[in-house]
Amino acid sequence: MAAAAVAQWSWQGLRFALPADWEVTVLEKAYLRADDAVGPRLEIVWRPRMTITEATMRARLHRLLPGAALDFAAGPSLHGLPDTHSFRFSHPSGHAGLGLALELPGQRTAMLLLHHQRPPEGSTNAIPLPCSTAAAVLGSLAIPPGEPFQPWQAFGVRLSVPASYTLQRFHFQPGHFHWQFNGPARGVLRAPEGALFFDRLGPASVLLRDKSLQEWATTFHASLPLHAQTLDPSAPCGLRWRAIKPPTPLRTLWRRLGKESWQDIVLSLWLDDADTKIMALLARGAPARNEPLLQELCARYAVCPDA
């Protein structure tokens, strides 16, 4: 029996769920691959600023699936995503599967490929994915509305960022997950208006062995001005440091030119509900001065273990 879809993902504007026995083995800013015990099962390739037309889609698929025969009439139809282009593909080597071309908010597109199992030696007939597994994955696909926040979820952590923010860098190392999102370019100098840094660290009991959360923060973020003067006593939960330089005519001019001061920082730190993870949100530049935005981002940043 096929495993139920349990691992929730939100990546680059696409939300989906993966079966329990599928593992994300490759994760890049614009590429994701999930494998099961037999081999690759799902691939998603994102592209910015590409309109899906018959010609662009065929050209793209020609590069992704060289030599494969495409059948657009036989693709699955998805009620939740009516404008999706779907197709089946098959290669003379026996490699076959289903595909979708999706239009996402922010002028992005995604090409999703669900691979059948490779045929055994001496055969060219691929072993199809169980219908229930394919249906569970395709049925879980959703495109969250682009405004005002874009949700992200990976490896049991969910967060949201303003829709205009883009993923700059990330890593998922054991004990430390990290995301950096940069704001849109502003001013004559076209520099990002700010950046948001999300860190999830654990286990908290090991990291905070002989230290308070405050002491630990000064070692983890040693380069930031985390001291009594910047400690914000009005933090709704956990700890918060706030270092905002007062506006002067010169600073305002610099900001208009696009030279945003990333020295304006707000760092929020708290423990998750189970007190096992340290959650950190560091805002630099424009988002650091936007208190309602910061509260919203903190509220949307949480650990959500897969079912």
Contacting residues toward another protein, per CB under 8 A:
23-24, 31, 33, 35, 37, 39-40, 43, 45, 63-66, 68, 91, 95, 113, 115, 118, 155-156, 172-175, 202-203, 206, 209, 274, 276-277, 305-306
Residues 303, 68: Cα–Cα separation, whole Å: 41
Q: In the 3-class helix/strand/coil scheme, how is 189-251 assigned residue by residue?
A: CCEECEEEEEEEECCHHHHCCCCCHHHHHHHHCCCCCCCCCCECCCCCCCEEEEECCCCCHHH
Instruction: Determine phi and psi for 278, rounding to 5 degrees.
Output: -95, 125
State which residue, 174 or 249, has the beta carbon closest to another protein.
Answer: 174
Nearer to another protein, 40 or 285 (CB): 40
DSSP state of 117: B
SS3 104: strand
Neighbours of 46 (CB within 10 A): 21
Query: Residue 241 forms beta bridges with which residues?
Result: 231, 267
DSSP code of residue 79: S
As a whole number of angstroms, the distance between CA 23 and CA 131 comes to 19
What minimum distance in Å lies between the beta carbon of 233 and another protein? 30
The residue among 23 and 103 lying less far from another protein, judged by its C-beta, is 23
From the CB of residue 32, how many other CB atoms can be counted at a distance below 10 Å? 24
Q: Which residues of 252-272 are buried (b: 16+ CB within 10 A; e: fewer)?
A: eeebeeeebbbebbbbbbbbb
In terms of CB distance, is 291 or 306 closer to another protein? Answer: 306
Distance CA 107, CA 85 (A): 16
CA proximity to 198, closest of 211, 184, 179, 182: 179
**Which residue's CB is nearer to another protein, number 68 or number 191?**
68
Pick the closer one to another protein by CB: 37 or 55. Answer: 37
CB nearer another protein, residue 172 or residue 254: 172
* Three-point CA angle 130, 86, 84, nearest 5°: 120
Rounded CA separation 258/185 (Å):
8
Q: How far is the CB of 287 from another protein (least distance, A)?
A: 27
Residue 86 DSSP SS3: strand
**Smallest distance, another protein to C-beta of residue 18, A:** 11
CB of 262 to another protein, least distance (A): 30
Nearer to another protein, 178 or 251 (CB): 178
